[in-house]
Structure 1
Amino acid sequence: MGKRGRELLVRVASAFVLIPLVLGILWLGGAWFLTLISVGVALLCIEWGLMASPNAGARLAAALTISALAAVFTGYLGHPVLSFLILLFGALCTGLYGYRLGAGWMDAAYGVLYVGFPAIIIMWLREDANNGLAWVMFAFLIAWASDSAAYVTGKLVGGPKLWRRYSPNKTWSGFAGGMIAGMLTAAALNDLTHLFKHNISPIVVGVVVSLATMAGDLWESALKRRFGVKDAGSLIPGHGGLMDRVDGLMFAIVALGGIRLLVLLGTEI
């Protein structure tokens, strides 16, 4: 077995272990889900702190974690608007602390928003009394389907590169495969959950969330190039850091949060 074959085998084994665990906690919700999100936020903040400031990474990571988790816990207690205000204040304070540490203050402040914003939104989605599980499952499964299909299609078909400067391995064929998988997954999930009954097309949901997933993947590739690292970390075998695994999902969650807001406002798309 060649190097690529071993890498693929490790990726599949990691997914085989992690996906059932994550789905089980999503199903349980409540304090279990809060714990999952809190651990994820802490790990992402550690990875960001070490990328943004190798010399003061631990201290910066601590500030990032405190700021992001304060906002997440506030949202969990039923105050989503206040949680965003706390996140903004935390980003300001972390930026000032990063400046004092000699790190880039914009990188420090942005790290809080980058990690904290989707964390708040996914808590808001999951705490929906009627359809919380369905909302979160839409985000996770569409993102996973889109990401996996893009990877497999790109490897099998190849072709012109999508954004050679920042992500030389991604192709337009992978992009098309990811979009199709996202649309099909959204349609299938809607047939099961009937989440979008009236004013929003599940195909549109699939398109938007798939686009967000791939945009998140590309954005993190650009960030890693900026920080001069190959991977955000080495936590997950075959995948790198946690951020390398959830970069697209973070953007997908934000996109689905916007769609839920449109649903609440009665907007048709």
Structure 2
Amino acid sequence: MFVDFSSRPPSLQLDGPASHLSNYRRVYEGTERQVTHGGVSEDPLAAYLATYERLNARHVVLKARDLRSTFGVRISNEDVAAFCRQHGERYIGFAGVDPHRGELAVEELETAVRELGLRGLNVQGFEHKLAIDDPLLFPLYRKCVELNVPVNIHCGTNFSTQVSMMFGHPAALDRVMVALPELRVCASPPGWPWVQELLAVAWRHPNVWIGTVAVRPKLLATPHSGYEPLLQYGRTILKKRMIFGSAFPMMPVEKALAEFDSLALPDSVREDWRCNNALEFLGM
């Protein structure tokens, strides 16, 4: 059993051309090709649902995104909530709102949680052209504390050549946690090339988890990859705060799990990364 903290069904696509992500297709070409050409089903959604059924997923986290002010596209809260309602309790939705909309964004977050049943907030700062500690984000963070829901925050570099990579620097997350220690945060992807800095933030702040999302798990055991400290700290002092995510369709779910299961982790720690830590982060 496992929780996949990052997955996007074939039926939940950005509602317009995502030109700012074109360089991602180059970076992830190899693993995305395995998803595109690796199956025989004529129905991608049916294959997607069957994969999680076959692998006995406990939960799968789906994330809305609202980039109307910056790139003119979104995956709406309503669509994510409808998918979760239709396909059952296995699927958990996180809201996406546009921080540039100010108080309207805060109201949309509250509606998404209280009325649509979404379970957290997704902040992809580079897509909003905002650093993690930008003042526009703090009303949303405070609303998450009020609603007692967690937030997923993009941390580390991004591969969009239209925005700065510095929007994801983990030092900004440290400043957020100093101001709002009650906020529950999963930093994902896991901080590269500032992995050590993110580990320091998580060590300092007990409400920070790290999601190994959008990175091949085998890189955590690959010398000189820059990801190796995640494995060292993730099986010792931070073993209760590491969360697995496949980032499908960037990588096939089964391949991500197979690479993760090959890592040198004690069985109890492996189960924490696979499932238990995510359940605690989600308040479940």
Provide the TM-score with structure 1 as the length reference.
Answer: 0.29
More strand by share: 2
- The structure whose Rg is larger is 1
Larger relative contact order (CA 8 Å, sep ≥ 6): 2
Report which of the two has the higher share of helix: 1
